[in-house]
Amino acid sequence: MILSVEELAKMLEVGRLEPWATQQQIVEACATAIQYSCGAFFVSLGYVPIVAEELKKSDTKLGVPIGFPLGTTSPEVKAFETQQAAEAGAEELDMCINRQRLKSGDYEFVYEDIRAVVDAAGDGVTKVIFQTCELTEEEIIRGSELAKKAGARF
Q: How confident is the model at residue 120 (pLDDT cuts 50, 70, 90)?
A: very high
Q: How confident is the model at residue 127 (pLDDT cuts 50, 70, 90)?
A: very high
Its pTM stands at 0.90
Q: How confident is the model at residue 5 (pLDDT cuts 50, 70, 90)?
A: confident
- Write down the domain spans for the chain: 5-150
Q: Is residue 23 scored above 90 in pLDDT?
A: yes
Q: How many CA atoms lie within 13 A of 29 on its CB side?
A: 20
CATH 3.40.1190.20 corresponds to the domain 5-150: no
Q: Is residue 126 scored above 90 in pLDDT?
A: yes
Stretch 64-91: mean pLDDT: 95
Mean pLDDT of the chain: 95
Predicted confidence at residue 33, as pLDDT, reads 96
Predicted confidence at residue 6, as pLDDT, reads 86
Q: Is residue 1 scored above 90 in pLDDT?
A: no
Predicted confidence at residue 16, as pLDDT, reads 95
Stretch 40-54: mean pLDDT: 95
CA distance 62 to 83: 14
Predicted confidence at residue 77, as pLDDT, reads 97
Stretch 33-49: mean pLDDT: 95
Q: Is residue 13 scored above 90 in pLDDT?
A: yes
